[in-house]
Structure 1
Amino acid sequence: LPHVWDDDRTGRMMSDRSSSAHQLADFLFARLNRRKNNRNERHGKGMEVPCYVVVLSDSQLIEEEPLLPLLLEDGRAIDACTIVLASRKEALPMQCQLIVEASKEQGVYARKSESAEVEQQSFKPDRLSREEADALARYMAPIRLKRSSASDIPSVLPLFDMMSVAGVEELDVSERWRRNRYPDTLPVPMGVRAGGKKIMINLHDKIERQGHGPHGLIAGTTGSGKSEVIQSIVASLAAEFHPHDLAFMLIDYKGGGMSNTFVNLPHVVGTITNLDNNLIERAKISLKAELVRRQKILNDAGNLQHIDEYYRLLRQRHTQPLPHLVIIIDEFAQLKRDQPEFMDELISIAAIGRTLGVHLILATQKPAGVVDDKIWSNSRFRICLRVQSEGDSRDMLKIPNAAWITKPGRGYFQVGSDEVFEEMQFAWSGAPYVGNSDISSALPVHEVRLNGKREALLTGGERASSGLKGEEAPKQLQIFIDYIAEEAAKAGIERLQGPWLPPLPELLDLTDLSPCAETGSPTAPQELKAVMGLVDDLPNQRQEPIYASLDHGHWAVYGMPGMGKTTFLQTMLMSMAQRFHANRWNGYIIDMGRTMRDFGELPQIGAVMMAEEDDRIKRLFRYLFKQVAVRKEMISEAGVKTISSYRRSAVEDVPQIIVVIDGYLNFRNAYPDENELLESLLREGGSLGITFIITANRITDVFEKFRSNIANAVSFEMSDPSDYYYAVGRPAKTPGPLIPGRALVKGHIPPLEFQTALPSPGEDETERSARLRRNIAGIVQEWKGKNAPAILPLPERIPLAELLQQWDGTSGPSGALPYEVPVGLQSDDLEPFLLNLKEGPNFIVGSPMEGGKTSFLMSWIISLAYYTSPSQLEVYTVDTRYGGGGLSRLRHLSHVKVAAESEEELGPLVQQIYDIVQQRNKDGNDPELLLVIDDADMLSKQLNDFTIKDQLSAIVRLGRDRNVHVVLSGVPSDFPTFGVDWFNDVKASQSGMLFGTLDSNDLSFFRIPYSEANAAAGGLKVLPPGQGYYVRRKFTRIKAAIPFSEQVSCEDWITKIRDRWHVVV
């Protein structure tokens, strides 16, 4: 019967099972309930057609459905009649107004009147056989009523049917692209209306080009086919227009399904999903930059005002592609809730970008509360599929009809104020693909159910149970995308760069980045630049290597532990080591975290100092201050103001000094004195070629007076977001959690984000460390020049023989003053310490027991004897601690005249020297006479002979002008304080050495500042034997040489010196 079919004859309104009964009940309820809601509007307009006659053979099938009470209680109001069949009268619903009891021969019907009276009447039933009923139904089956045009709209429109092709190869997109190059209008089909006529959508902004406007809205509830409509529009545009003439940016807030579908389409230049919140900010900045880029292209092409003018220019000469950019947002309501600022930005971009070829299509389920006045005013065309309520339909179309739609893909297309208004069926891109080659073999066999629905039994020659079911066949859209991608590849068409570049990689090797291409010249030396990583310059739509200039200011590196500060330092150092030799820069690393030791092998690195190496760290700062003084003098003599100017004007290479402090807070706490010195170096060092790079966990770790002298900064993730402002400047948006290696760099407004490069490639940390060591070894092997000046640790032992050999190998002896000989090393710079006998002229040597005083005295005597002939130096020694184990070991030295090692020998020795002094003239040319009394503190207590005391005093007083020198040694705390004239006369010379102690009383005796004790590591008041100070008005830190070793004994020295001066025994 034609009466049981729905409007589109796609299904019978009949059911013989529970599942289909529920579906039919839902269908009828939607229609009849709408009638109930609209009955006030239809008051007085007569019956609404069609009248629905519902026959229920078993009302229990729908007893839980809202349709049943609607039919029984409001049937008259909704123009619906319900016939309920039951085996007993008692089983009928109470709402039945007419009850018919029928048997084969007779029937009775009873009707309730309005007055509640029952009218009853008998009748004889007409007989109608099944065969007659079947024949009658078949007679009426061909009847088709002339209905509204909607009945002529197909209920399903596969994408390829709309494109009028059976197989994808028939599209011939290459020809379409060629034909539509540089388009001045953008019409494409998106569906059909009644009668099968295609409906076109044209995204052009000009009405005279039949444009429907650059921006539009799509509304449709879940299951209405909204996403399919979007996909079909994308496919139609991609089929007609070249990837360099039209491109898509897809923002999919449904989890990324649409963006994943189009990932291989060459027209798609960018995607964002609700899973990519970190891309929102970069998209906002990049889209602004894209508008600026487009405006610049049009201006540079001749101050053009519209993209159409640019395309007319392209037809004449091929220049830079500038595609129409179609931005499509699915579920933009969610985007607006999550990212309201980004949504506002998009609307502003759309308003400005109309003439620049920027188009915006917004899709949502429910426009109410989401589509504001800005969106309405900028959306000229609207597509409305089924929506949840008539109010939603009126919001979109000003009519309620879209709420009554029952078919997926069915909807309305409206342009402006009904300039175009069409009910239509949109293309279905998810239809299964058969293709020309499969038509003959794919003969489906279906079972037709009572409700008219078809269930596949055989598909493509295979049984449904084992073969490929229709819903499992490849979709037309996927076949289409693969075909488009293949055709683009054949034609050599490359995907254009999108509005934004892809996010920075999470791992990046230094080898992936090209070194700075700058070259230098004698008048403009090459700038010292280190690769940091890959920068994300969104405003300028660039990703490129970023470099740190080490010639122009200090660097501060901030960030929480584990975020990449040390890796950043390693990358900078490795980058410079690979590009610049040691004559261009010298590096020194204070490694508070013990992670930079490997870099100590580089020829450019003078020292890697650990936290506990206080002597080296102190020596480094003294070296730096010495360099400040030297470089100031060089610059002043050259008549320039900065080291850069000096390098351009001088022949001599002056290397840049790079000082790295990894772990500044630990350094500040462990070395407060050096930290104070650091402020001065930061202030003065920049113009003198001394650059500091420091790392800190927080901005507050570095005092403001230090930060004010640091021009450059990098910030990895900070624990306090407000620190970014003070570290690198105000970011465009407060950064969320940053991955390790991701940082912001100062110097741009707002600061730019970059990914730090790893210093060496590798799959894991172990492999990268091994590769780093190999790379360092390769640099060491290739370098044949001079290494950076080293800050070596102070040796535990300094053999005198090695010291003299080293000094002899230089120009030291020829440039030394008479009687000026090496006796150790200066602790500050490890240069030989030269002691001039003439400076005293008398000396006091102090140390605690076993502090190194006797060892020093023997080294001094040996060194003097080695460089001075016996005719010019006479030595007299006194061992107060009798036993022959001290200075008396040197008694056979050619220069030693007398060595007293007993109380009996002391008197004659003093008498002999006294006589010599008496005989000498003042300021004569007599040889130098050296009297050395070891442990003089004991002698002062033991000596009771007043003659000897007076003679010693005379020797000291008269000897100053007669080339006589007296050296006393002892424990400082035991030195006599009064009553020993000869000792006090020696002390008055204010010359001497202190070894092995930092006791405040000992320092006070030698007039050494107490700050030296405060700087002692761990607060200890002792020094190693032989380590201490030389004092003459000011102090010098020294380490004394030891006279004997396994290689050179006392006898060896005696023999060597005897042979040196040709002394015959």
Structure 2
Amino acid sequence: SAVRVADTADEIDLEPVSHSALRSLLDTQRTVRDVPVGLDVASVSRVTVLGEGEQAGDEVRAAVRAWLAQAVCWHDPTMLGVALASPELESPEWSWLKWLPHTDIAGAVDGVGPARYLAASGEQLVGLLAPVLATRPPFTGEPADAVRHLLVIVDDPNFDVAASVLGAGRAGVTVIVVGGASAPHREQYPDPERPILRITAGGQAIDRWQTGGWVRFVDAADSVSVADVGHLGRRLSRWDSNPTHAGLRSAGTRGATFTTLLGIADASQLDVPALWSPRSREDELRVPIGVTATGEPLYFDLKDEAEGGMGPHGLMIGMTGSGKSQTLMSILLSLLTTHSADRLIVIYADFKGEAGADIFRHFPQVVAVISNMAEKKSLADRFADTLRGEVARRELLLREAGRRVQGSAFNSVTEYEAAIAAGHDLAPIPTLFIVADEFTLMLADHPEYAELFDYVARKGRSFRIHILFASQTLDVGKIKDIDKNTSYRIGLKVASASVSRQIIGVEDAYHIESGKEHKGEGFLVPAPGAAPIKFRSTYVDGIYDPPRRSRAVVINALPEPRLFTAAAVDSGQDTTIVDEQELPEVAPRKLIATIGDQLAGYGPQAPPLWLPPLEEPIPLAATLATAGISERALRWPLGQIDKPFDMRRDPLVFDARSASGNLLIHGSPKSGKTTALQTFILSAAALHSPREVSFYCVDYGGGQLRALDGLAHVGSVASGLEPDKIRRTFGELEQLLTARQQREAFRDGSIGAFNDGYGEVFLIIDNLYGFSRDNTDAFNTRNPLLAKVTELVNVGLAYGIHVVVTTPSWLEVPLAMRDGLGLRLELKLHDARDSNVRVAGALTRPAEAVPANQPGRGLTMAAEHFLIAQPDLEQIAAINARHPGLAAPPVRLLPTNLAPEELGTLYPAPEHVVIGVREEDLAPVQVDFTTNPLLLVLGDTKSGKTSLLRHLIRTVREHNTAEQVAFTVIDRRLHLVDEPLYPDNEYTANVDRVIPAMLGLSALVGSRRPPAGLSATDLAAWSYEGHTHYLIIDDVDAIPDTPALSGPYAGQRPWTTLIELLSQATDLGLRVIVTGRATGSGHALMTNPLLRRLNDLQATTLMLSGNPADSGKIRGQRFARLPAGRAILLADNDEPTYLQLVNPQFSQ
């Protein structure tokens, strides 16, 4: 900004010495001398340069030469092009332009190299420029940033620029007219877009035309001699900042594409054996990836710095649009094209998920292209395990090989290869090149991986594991010590000067210009402290067009020297080029794919260090085929375990003879629990017969196990809607367990030891949560059968009875059961915090890495990922066909109607009456009236109460005489009216007869008491005389328990005298059988004195069908909806026993 002095009203007030010094300062500094003056050619369309005097032409040309020299020196050919029209084209004043790359015509050649925008006349130059000018919009005065600026010099006095296409003005084109024009008229208006300049004062100054005359523009004009510009042109001839540009100049950089840098004539016809031929260690892993600013090839040397390379590890930073992916692809393609898989293998890991590197996936040296790790956490974990595993594998290989060769471990791969060179037969260890793209994003989500990278970087130096870390930015706080382990740095266009300084030590990477024409430009620092080398990487991600000159027919192949002139040089007649229409048409393909397809046909292949994650379903048939498990081994595969650290997959095997013979599978809904059970059963069935393994399923998981009901190995599938079948299943298993406990054959451990038709038995419970909450109420919160499951878990394994359960949560498994479940498989959980899988020292839970929406994926207790194989239910028929006539023993169910003849002996002993079969073991159930003379039967209508009474009456009557037994039957509803009794027995349906009948019976029975005054000995020997009396009261709720209102029994209740005798019924020969309704029985047991007394005396109770909501509970047991004749027996211990009552009116 200008320095000004405030005005002073009266200078007399100023101090004289200071005032004089101020004036002297202002006079001296008022004018700045020798300030450069420039002309913005981007904002003008035409510049006319005139001269004075006899030397006007030479002075003008000298000035224009100076302008051109500055322009071409400070602008590369991608930004600035130069064109010339002059009859004196070959004169020293202009011929020097032929050396400049700025004059090249893109894509055109002549007899000595690229064609040039140099013409002997204006008309000829217009013809050369016509294709370019046709694409340019009209000139607007604004810089044309997106196009190459053309500087056109016209030194042809016979050519009228204004009348030609050059006079119209085009965007990005500036025409400089040298002389040949008359001085402007004094009335001529100056056009700022078309200035007129005059070289004056003998070439020492420049005037500019303004309104009314000339105004000094430059006091000291620049001029350059012909010799200087000639030298400058030759020096610039080797310069080219766009090596992929088709019009490259020198032999070292002409067509400096990927193919030319590697010396490949045609990338579609590679000589792979020659490219992969052995190299000296100096040339190994050293490939060109671009060109430097001087046009020389830039070599990327991956070797360790101790071997003359730049490695082992490097860092590349480049913002979006900088060409980072382009540079990485160039590095990879150069290395892969020139090295086989026994010398180099590659892992490309991209955390962000870009698919650009997928094109390398099929190269034989590429171990894996891992992308999208940000969305798939499991991929990041696998990548970490793979790196750790490869370090460990190489360390083990060097140790074992070293001990075999020299008695001690090799310290590095270099020593290992020295042993190979000495003649030892050792397998080659290829260099592992790891590209970690967007590694800073990985560290942001997984900060623990910083230590992993640091570990691999330190160990990898000796093991030939090289890492190139690439990212868009650099966060020193997150990468920790990673940058300290890198030796070479590559800085592309970055977002800030500070990042540039962190990468290459200077700010140059920040100042790289933006735009697609600058993609791939950057700086390489080959070693710490080295000077940055500017380069541009080759572009390899484009469509490859095979060279058409490969179809040329050469008539005279002898080379012939030609003079290099500014004008076009004739190519001669010794080469005939095939026209384009004669060339065969080929489908366009990318360069990388073109090369990769050819390399894929050559070996060796990269070792399988990386196996793809367990994402694709695994058929059970394939798992069985690859598991290597023989038949009848009581072992079978369930899926595959992923072991990225060991670089393999192992079968997930269930071993029935091991301590892990009981299995728990827990996971959230839709995690694949039921499918895992199907796989479990079908896999076992594929390797064993139904006599060797059998399965009994309890399905609370949605009914999918029902599909296995047709499998010969499956004895039963019971759903939660089949409680009878579930109880019978447990009954069968308990009976089997008891039988095996009583035998010793199981101790020899063979399959045939049991010899009971079951083999190894498996109880399958799908959804333990639903099972444990079935058959519960407010007082019994767990299924009573859950205790039986716990017993089988803890005891059954020793007797060949196994338990396999699924549950949504580990917390649902009872504590007493947990230790017996030896094998636990954890599928995807809703909340990873519920996981039981832990890894010591890990910051996160392994369960977080289990992917969602992939049923069957889970973790073992060792934190190993697995995938359950997919069962094929269509194979059931084929499996059954291999075992004709064999099937697992089915679960025997209680009959729905039981004929008396099916029970055998109905009266096995005096006063022992068989009333049905129990569900537990289908054994006959008898009522022993000598032990408990009281029987209470409760049930709703049509539940079987009367049928039971018929059976009791008939059985007792048929097996006794009238002298032995007597009956008193109170049948209010006449259900038993047709049932014959003994003569003189009491049968009444009249309510009025109940009280006298009870009075008479009470008197009879009461008379059997021993008389008073007997001694203890006499009392012990006392017994009554007479028959056993059976009192049968059907539908006691139909008989009102109210006092008689009139008659001889007024005021008496029907059961008062009877109740007094119930406690002595056994000793007095009284047997009481009472039936009543189930509905309301809970209340009746408290209000009806007879029922209350029977309940107090623990009468044998049969609970038939009743409404569980309205019938209350009897001695802790709730009623249930049961089929007719089905009952729950409550004996003295109150343990419920389900049984089917005999139906005397049903015959088999």
TM-score by length of 2: 0.64
Name the residue aligned to 1:1042. Answer: 1143
Name the residue aligned to 1:476. Answer: 591
Q: 1:695 to 1:193 in 2, by over 3 A?
A: closer
Q: Is the 8 A contact 1:994 1:1028 kept in 2?
A: no
Name the residue aligned to 1:929. Answer: none
2:695 match: secondary structure:
strand
Residue 591 of structure 2 aligns to which amino acid in structure 1? Q
Name the residue aligned to 1:269. Answer: 367
**Structure 1 stretch 431-440 or stretch 666-675: which is displaced more?**
431-440
2:703 match: secondary structure:
coil
Structure 2 residue runs without a partner (length 5+)? 1-64, 78-99, 104-116, 118-128, 151-164, 175-182, 218-224, 241-249, 403-408, 555-567, 569-576, 1011-1020, 1042-1053, 1086-1090, 1112-1118
1:985 CA drift (Å): 5.9
- The answer as to 2:997 corresponding to 1:943 is yes
Name the residue aligned to 1:739. Answer: 853
- The answer as to 2:492 corresponding to 1:382 is no
Equivalent in 1023, 1028, 1031 of residue 968 of structure 1 = 1031
Residue 666 of structure 1 aligns to which amino acid in structure 2? G
Name the residue aligned to 1:245. Answer: 343
Matched pairs, number: 889
- The answer as to 2:305 corresponding to 1:305 is no
For residues 122-271 of structure 1, the aligned pairs below 5 Å read 144-147=233-236, 150=239, 154=253, 157-168=256-267, 171-177=270-276, 179-180=278-279, 185-191=284-290, 198-207=297-306, 209-220=307-318, 225-252=323-350, 255-271=353-369
- The answer as to 2:877 corresponding to 1:787 is no
1:862 CA drift (Å): 6.2
Inter-partner Cα distance in structure 1 for 2:258 and 2:682:
57
1:876 CA drift (Å): 6.9
Can you list the C-alpha shifts for 1:538-592, whole angstroms capped at 9, x where unaligned? Answer: 3333223213445535443333322222222222222233334444444333322
Report the structure, 1 or 2, having the larger helix content: 1
For residues 533-572 of structure 1, the aligned pairs below 5 Å read 533-549=639-655, 552=659, 554-572=662-680
1:300 CA drift (Å): 2.0
Q: 1:109 to 1:597 in 2, by over 3 A?
A: closer
Inter-partner Cα distance in structure 2 for 1:241 and 1:528:
49
Inter-partner Cα distance in structure 1 for 2:751 and 2:235:
96
Q: Is the 8 A contact 2:314 2:486 kept in 1?
A: yes
Equivalent in 708, 713, 725 of residue 824 of structure 2 = 713
Inter-partner Cα distance in structure 1 for 2:811 and 2:795:
26
Name the residue aligned to 2:1116. Answer: none
Name the residue aligned to 2:460. Answer: 353
For residues 297-336 of structure 1, the aligned pairs below 5 Å read 297-302=397-402, 303-313=409-419, 316=423, 322-336=429-443
Name the residue aligned to 1:613. Answer: 722
- The answer as to 2:540 corresponding to 1:429 is yes
Inter-partner Cα distance in structure 1 for 2:552 and 2:194:
56
For residues 677-756 of structure 1, the aligned pairs below 5 Å read 678-679=786-787, 681-682=789-790, 685-689=793-797, 690-702=801-813, 707=818, 710-725=821-836, 731-732=845-846, 734-735=848-849, 737-748=851-862, 751-756=863-868
1:350 match: secondary structure:
helix
Equivalent in 670, 675, 690 of residue 783 of structure 2 = 675
For residues 476-625 of structure 1, the aligned pairs below 5 Å read 476-488=591-603, 493-498=604-609, 500-514=610-624, 517=628, 528-529=634-635, 531-549=637-655, 552=659, 554-592=662-700, 593-621=702-730
Inter-partner Cα distance in structure 2 for 1:882 and 1:336:
87
Structure 1 residue runs without a partner (length 5+)? 32-55, 68-83, 122-135, 444-451, 453-458, 521-525, 761-767, 892-898, 911-932, 1049-1065
Residue 201 of structure 1 aligns to which amino acid in structure 2? F
Inter-partner Cα distance in structure 2 for 1:557 and 1:263:
37
Inter-partner Cα distance in structure 1 for 2:184 and 2:671:
78
1:967 match: secondary structure:
strand
Inter-partner Cα distance in structure 1 for 2:834 and 2:1129:
48
1:772 CA drift (Å): 6.3
Q: 1:85 to 1:246 in 2, by over 3 A?
A: farther
Inter-partner Cα distance in structure 2 for 1:663 and 1:1014:
28
Can you list the C-alpha shifts for 1:722-778, whole angstroms capped at 9, x where unaligned? Answer: 112479997336236512314433420xx2222222221xxxxxxx5xx26646xx4
**Structure 1 stretch 974-983 or stretch 258-267: which is displaced more?**
974-983
Q: Is the 8 A contact 2:665 2:673 kept in 1?
A: yes
Inter-partner Cα distance in structure 2 for 1:143 and 1:1029:
113
Inter-partner Cα distance in structure 1 for 2:546 and 2:977:
111
For residues 57-72 of structure 1, the aligned pairs below 5 Å read none
Q: 1:786 to 1:238 in 2, by over 3 A?
A: closer
Name the residue aligned to 2:1017. Answer: none
1:355 CA drift (Å): 1.0
For residues 411-426 of structure 1, the aligned pairs below 5 Å read 411-417=522-528, 426=537
1:506 CA drift (Å): 3.9
Inter-partner Cα distance in structure 2 for 1:86 and 1:347:
77
Residue 698 of structure 2 aligns to which amino acid in structure 1? I
Q: 1:220 to 1:648 in 2, by over 3 A?
A: closer
For residues 751-770 of structure 1, the aligned pairs below 5 Å read 751-760=863-872
Q: 1:782 to 1:965 in 2, by over 3 A?
A: farther
2:1057 match: secondary structure:
coil
**Structure 1 stretch 337-346 or stretch 934-943: which is displaced more?**
934-943
Name the residue aligned to 2:47. Answer: none
1:388 CA drift (Å): 6.4
Inter-partner Cα distance in structure 2 for 1:661 and 1:480:
57
Residue 696 of structure 2 aligns to which amino acid in structure 1? Y
Q: 1:296 to 1:359 in 2, by over 3 A?
A: same
Inter-partner Cα distance in structure 1 for 2:445 and 2:851:
18
Name the residue aligned to 2:154. Answer: none
Q: 1:942 to 1:226 in 2, by over 3 A?
A: same
**Sequence identity (%):** 20
2:233 match: secondary structure:
coil
Inter-partner Cα distance in structure 2 for 1:85 and 1:508:
89
CA RMSD, 1 decimal: 5.6
Inter-partner Cα distance in structure 1 for 2:476 and 2:149:
25
2:888 match: secondary structure:
coil
1:539 match: secondary structure:
coil
Residue 715 of structure 1 aligns to which amino acid in structure 2? E
Q: Is the 8 A contact 1:256 1:273 kept in 2?
A: yes
Can you list the C-alpha shifts for 1:86-141, whole angstroms capped at 9, x where unaligned? Answer: 99865545999x97699xxxx995689xxxx98689xxxxxxxxxxxxxx99xx99
Inter-partner Cα distance in structure 2 for 1:87 and 1:477:
65
For residues 21-36 of structure 1, the aligned pairs below 5 Å read 25-26=144-145
Residue 682 of structure 2 aligns to which amino acid in structure 1? M
Q: Is the 8 A contact 2:729 2:891 kept in 1?
A: no
**Structure 1 stretch 295-304 or stretch 364-373: which is displaced more?**
364-373
1:265 CA drift (Å): 0.7
Can you list the C-alpha shifts for 1:590-648, whole angstroms capped at 9, x where unaligned? Answer: 322333223344444443322233344445455555566555555xx79xxxx777779
Q: Is the 8 A contact 2:443 2:450 kept in 1?
A: yes
Q: Is the 8 A contact 2:1029 2:1070 kept in 1?
A: no
1:358 CA drift (Å): 0.6
Residue 796 of structure 1 aligns to which amino acid in structure 2? T
2:617 match: secondary structure:
coil
Can you list the C-alpha shifts for 1:455-498, whole angstroms capped at 9, x where unaligned? Answer: xxxx984589x9989xx95443332111111233xxxx344203
Q: Is the 8 A contact 1:414 1:420 kept in 2?
A: yes
Inter-partner Cα distance in structure 1 for 2:1133 and 2:1104:
16
Inter-partner Cα distance in structure 2 for 1:412 and 1:145:
26
1:262 CA drift (Å): 0.8
Q: Is the 8 A contact 2:1009 2:1024 kept in 1?
A: no
Q: Is the 8 A contact 1:186 1:204 kept in 2?
A: yes
Inter-partner Cα distance in structure 1 for 2:655 and 2:697:
18
